[in-house]
Structure 1
Amino acid sequence: MKPISSVIIFLLLVCSAVWASIDSYHCAETSIVQDMNQALLKTLTGKREAWITPDTIQSYRQHLQIADLKSRSFVSYALGDDSHSLHSKQMKWQSGNHILTFQSYADCSFATVWGLSDQRLPLSFLLLSLVWMAASIVYFRRHRTDRLVLGKMVYAASDHSFRDWHGEKIAFTPMQQQLMELFINTVDCKLSKAVICETLWPKKPDASETLYTLIRRLKPIVSERCGLKIVADRGDGYRLASDSSSKKMSDRLSKWNRCHL
């Protein structure tokens, strides 16, 4: 799994938590308005006088089903739609020639509405995103030892792939791939010609020319894509070297070989 994939999944889970939280908040607002509508309708059905009395407020609040609204909602003559507060529908009341329009309002803050909403699904998404993040961190820490960085080249032991700093796979031929893996899995990246020939061409009596051709074709790829070079080691073999400090490269390879050999 690539780090970018892990980040994308984490962001999707967080976005799902935010979306679910907003949706639950709007559902709570809808429930509050519906409760005020039914309470106001029942109150006006039994109302006899044209004015609002304490008994009107008490009757209205008794019909409310959401307990937290009983101390936050009140009945008033319709003042028109107020987009900054929660309110019921405007309802007309008639007695004889008297026609009045009533409306109920709720003094609910954002925190109050959020507290009345069902946030279990958003919290589940949020918890899942945190678990995913923790698991990803553990995963990448465990698999970090499977990667070796030399020059501009990154070798992943998990899939035996060579990549450059941009993450693009270096297109080695099968024989070049085997030789590069021989280099990095050998102390100091030094290989004798005999070892190379016996490993790559075990049935060929003399593979010197084939080895020479392989090295000649591999050198420009290693130089351009890997930031490394293949040098002849006193005529007896070849060595994979870096333009940087050879001691740093040797120490890095020693740690790598202790973990993987």
Structure 2
Amino acid sequence: MKQQRFAVIVLFALIIASSLTSIGSYSSTCRLVNEDMDRALALALQEQQSDVISQDTIRTFNNHLQITELRGKATLAVDTCGQKFKAYAHCSEATIFSLSDQRPATILWALTGFWAMLICYRHRQSLVGEPLSVSNTNRNVFGGLTYLEDDGCFYAADGRQVQLTPMQHQLMEMFFLSPSHSLTKTEICNALWPKKPDASETLYTLIRRLKPVVEHHSDLKIESDRSKAYRLEIR
């Protein structure tokens, strides 16, 4: 649990670091672009000695841009809201982003994605269960399925824990603890639903859902004797 919590904390730290690195690079580039455009516009207006924005102004403006990638992408505009003439230059956020150095952020995002996939893989492994310890001798094996009395868990042949619902687990435990691996309908109903007058339908549903789980993880199958008794058999 502590390892999972630590892994999630690291994941969030990587996400924050990646985001801050990307935003920092964008902000730095945005500042440089604005400074370059403002300087180029001031030089262009100074050279033409006129407040009129013309094709020559745009050509001169582009020639004074030190960031060559901005040429042809920056836009000149005139602020008509104020009483005084004011020209300014701007470009799109996409242009600024393309000019920013996103390589460090890309590396961090790649590490973030790798770490996220590793967490998902570990999480799926934990759902399947840990490998069965071979040193544990207090176990009951039947049809490729192992029941460890020490931890009360069932394990498949590959050593992975079989995930069962509480009712499925209780019924399988009864099957394994029975010398003949068989149980009558009355025994099951009295053990699982002692206060229910008629648990026939509930038992039928439980058996129906348990069968594919048992067959998937072992060489066993659940057979019915006219719905009066059930037994585990090797296929």
Aligned residues: 154
1:74–1:127 Cα change, 3 Å: closer
Query: What is the TM-score when the length of structure 1 is the normalising length?
Result: 0.46
Q: Pick from 211, 236, 245: which aligns with 2:172? A: 245
Shift of residue 2, structure 1, vs aligned partner: 2.2
Q: Does 1:55 align with 2:38?
A: no
Secondary structure at the aligned position of 2:140 is classed as: helix
Identical positions, percent: 21
Q: State the match for 2:15 in structure 1.
A: 14
Q: Does 1:122 align with 2:49?
A: no
Q: Does 1:73 align with 2:74?
A: yes
Shift of residue 103, structure 1, vs aligned partner: 2.1
Which residues of 2 match residues 1-261 of structure 1 at below 5 A? Answer: 2-79=3-80, 101-108=85-92, 110-137=93-120, 141=125, 146=130, 185-188=137-140, 243-246=170-173, 247=175
1:50–1:146 Cα change, 3 Å: closer
- Measured in 2, the distance between the counterparts of 1:16 and 1:248 equals 53
- Measured in 2, the distance between the counterparts of 1:124 and 1:9 equals 16
Query: What is the TM-score when the length of structure 2 is the normalising length?
Result: 0.51
- Measured in 2, the distance between the counterparts of 1:80 and 1:70 equals 27
Secondary structure at the aligned position of 1:245 is classed as: helix
In the alignment, is the contact (CA less than 8 A) between 1:75 and 1:102 conserved in 2? no
- The one-character-per-residue Cα deviations of 1:62-84 (angstroms, maximum 9, x if unpaired) are 10122332213244444459xxx
- Structure 2 segments unaligned to the other structure (5+ residues): 142-149, 154-168, 182-213, 219-235
Q: Which moved more, 1:136-145 or 1:60-69?
A: 136-145
Q: State the match for 2:161 in structure 1.
A: none
1:130–1:77 Cα change, 3 Å: closer
- RMSD of Structure 2 on Structure 1 (CA): 4.0
Q: Which moved more, 1:133-142 or 1:121-130?
A: 133-142
In the alignment, is the contact (CA less than 8 A) between 1:14 and 1:126 conserved in 2? yes
- Measured in 1, the distance between the counterparts of 2:4 and 2:101 equals 33
Shift of residue 35, structure 1, vs aligned partner: 0.9
1:115–1:3 Cα change, 3 Å: same
1:29–1:131 Cα change, 3 Å: same
In the alignment, is the contact (CA less than 8 A) between 2:45 and 2:51 conserved in 1? no
In the alignment, is the contact (CA less than 8 A) between 1:227 and 1:243 conserved in 2? no
- The one-character-per-residue Cα deviations of 1:193-249 (angstroms, maximum 9, x if unpaired) are xxxxxxxxxxxxxxxxxxxxxxxxxxxxx9xxx889xxxxxxxxxxxxx84422469
In the alignment, is the contact (CA less than 8 A) between 1:39 and 1:64 conserved in 2? yes
Q: State the match for 2:188 in structure 1.
A: none
Shift of residue 4, structure 1, vs aligned partner: 2.5
Counterpart residue identity of residue 18, structure 2: A
1:10–1:117 Cα change, 3 Å: same
